[in-house]
Chains A and B, each alone.
Chain A
Amino acid sequence: MTIPAFATTARLTWRQHRFELAMLVVLAAIIFAVEIATAGIEGWFVEHRCLADPKPADCLGMAGLYERLTEASGIAVVLATLMPPLIGLIVGVKLVGAEIERGTAALPWTVGTSRSRWLLVRVAILAGAIALTCSALSLAVDVVTASRDPGVDLANSLGDYQLRGWLPPARAVALFGVAVLVGAAMGRTLPALLVTLLLSAIGMYAIVNGFELLHRTEAVPLEMLLSPSSRDLYLDGRLRDRTTGAFVSYEEAYAIEPGDGEGFDARFELVTFGIPGSQSRLVVGRMVGFHLLLFVACTGLASLVVRRRRPY
């Protein structure tokens, strides 16, 4: 495809999806502004020791604004987490589903000689727009997180890792891919949206739990690795027998040392297991990679569906 043809496709794709995309951008701008403002105020509060009680005099005037911004920031984080994937779902379902439902797919499928190219170019344009917007939101969440926890090195932290960094954009793009596939297969917008919502809920639950299982197999005792500049991912606590050094279950521990008195505490210690924050690149990179693979797989399947299905 030539550059002018790509530019035309991008312009027309924007025209066709301008409402959803504008919603996404406006929403992202509001959330971004709230997050950045909150981070700024929080930075000022920390700098002026305003979080102490009683507050210094110069902080009192800002306290009301700080409280309102903190509340707004909480809502903004929830919106920043939920809205981009939701808009990705709507745009994804519409991309092919609405074309088939309205009968317009017959135009590009008979004027253009490659249905796959028609689909892939538009998927790339919209996935790019969604990823870009979500990345801006993630950046805003990063800024807020940094302002709340100034001593933490975010690049080596797993605190709130599901809400910030590259994972939210990757998740939104993956859901967009699922929506494109379901929309193409069903050819109806509303049923496809409902099916995609259901599949996404099940899929995200499965992914989160699947990765948690994987993390559990890689978990290490965290007590010795805890660092003030890192936030680890806590997974579970296990009992260690101080006598043998072996890890035992509670049932086994109670069998060895009945009762939970001093003898129990003297014999067993609770050790927290998890993934150290220093592993965040591996943990997040792996999850991002998985979501991107899901997006590529769904887009590939959607391309196969589009090549063979009727445009009505």
Chain B
Amino acid sequence: MSQLLPSVEPALEATGLVKQYRGGRTVALDGIDLGIVPGSITALVGPNGAGKSTLIKAWVGFERPTSGSVRVLGIDPWTDLAKAIGHLGYIPQASYLYRELTVVEHLDLAGSLRSSFDRPLASERLSHLRIPLSAEAGTLSSGQQTQVALAIALATRAPVLLLDEPLASLDPLARREFLHVLATTVRDLHQTVVMTSHVVTDIAQACDRVVVLNAGQKLLDEWIATAVARHQVGRAGARIKGRTIGSFPDVDGAQLTLFEDGETPTGDDAASGLRAATLEEVVLGYLAAGRLTMPAA
């Protein structure tokens, strides 16, 4: 929220959002405050159980907040579901396609459910991807099923898209293709996208904003370009000034530390190993910091 311009009304909002299950024994979301900038593509990242899907499901009206509220273009989905849904396109984590229906029947179904559904847009996109429209959904690969789901979500022409782990079932090439389609089409249609993902390296190119969640709490909410520019990594134990965020192991086993506005007192960056952080390192640093501060972790 702090990064939003005061005059910009968020496309999606969460205020003091708490979601508990089993009478409070499981806390999925623990006081989330978040505003999604209209027209942005936001990546919601975090480990399993971080609360990413629960947050998406709260916006889409599947989960009722235990306390706090969520809004979709100013509408509370729990009190006015039809209106909120009218502004949303959604892809769930697991495929929601009917195995026994063909792709074209899915488009028919979507057209019968929403009068504004842009069938030609969906057909054109799927034909471009060489997905056979006459094939039953159950015979498509999981990557193709995700593309069909994306085509349906895009063709709703909803101003806001909520995509829950859409990359999980895709191979690296299909992931790139998916993100390319997403980025170009969304920009053309001026849509706002929130996408959950485990794959941080891919989203860096397609998304422009990142929100890091862990154990139901928000650890970072920033433009990706700013986040990368403001953070550096250096070898753990080196003399580096700046706010220490967290330490995590590098692939070679060496311990790295993420700094905010880090710099070496002597200016000798090579000796301390100080360099600009990648988005993945920013996320890892915050997740490591979150783990340290979580009493139960």
| Pick from B62, B98, B105, B152: contact of A111, CB under 8 Å | B152
In the complex, which residues of chain B have a beta carbon less than 8 angstroms from the beta carbon of A9? 112
- Contacting B92 at CB < 8 Å: which of A106, A108, A118? A106
A-chain residues with CB within 8 Å of residue B268 when the two chains form the complex: none
A268-B63 Cα distance, complex, nearest whole Å: 71
Binary A-proximity of B68-93 (CB < 8 A = 1, otherwise 0) = 00000000000001110110111010
| B100 touches A (CB below 8 Å) | yes
**B-contacting residues, A114-128, CB 8 Å:** 114-115, 118
A-B contact count (CB 8 A): 78
Q: Is the CB of B95 within 8 A of A112?
A: no
Contacts of B144 in A (CB 8 A): none
Picked from B90, B96, B156, the residue with its CB within 8 Å of the CB of A103 is B96
Nearest CB on A from B142, distance (A): 13
- For B113, the chain A residues whose CB sits under 8 A away are 108, 111-113, 118
Q: Which residues of A contact B114 (CB under 8 A)?
A: 111-113
Residue of A nearest to B111 (CB): A8
A8, A111, A311 — which one has the most chain B CB atoms within 10 A of its CB? Answer: A111
A111 pairs with B156, CB closer than 8 A: yes
Interface residues on chain A, number (Cβ under 8 Å): 30
A310 B63 Cβ-Cβ under 8 A: yes
Residues of B within 8 A of A312 (CB): 62
A104 at the A/B interface (Cβ < 8 Å)?
yes
Q: In the bound complex, how far is the Cα of B105 from the Cα of A12, in angstroms?
A: 7
B108 touches which of A2, A8, A108 (Cβ 8 Å)? A8
CB distance from B238 to the nearest CB of A (A): 48
Is B97 part of the binding interface, using a Cβ–Cβ cutoff of 8 Å? yes
Q: Tell me if B271 is interfacial: C-beta within 8 Å of chain A.
A: no
A105 and B16 alpha carbons, distance in the complex (Å): 29
Q: Interface residues, chain A, CB within 8 Å of chain B?
A: 1-2, 4-6, 8-9, 11-12, 15-16, 102-115, 118, 307, 310-312
Top 9 A-B residue pairs of the complex, sorted by shortest distance between their CB atoms: A112-B113, A110-B90, A8-B112, A5-B112, A106-B96, A107-B96, A113-B82, A111-B113, A106-B92
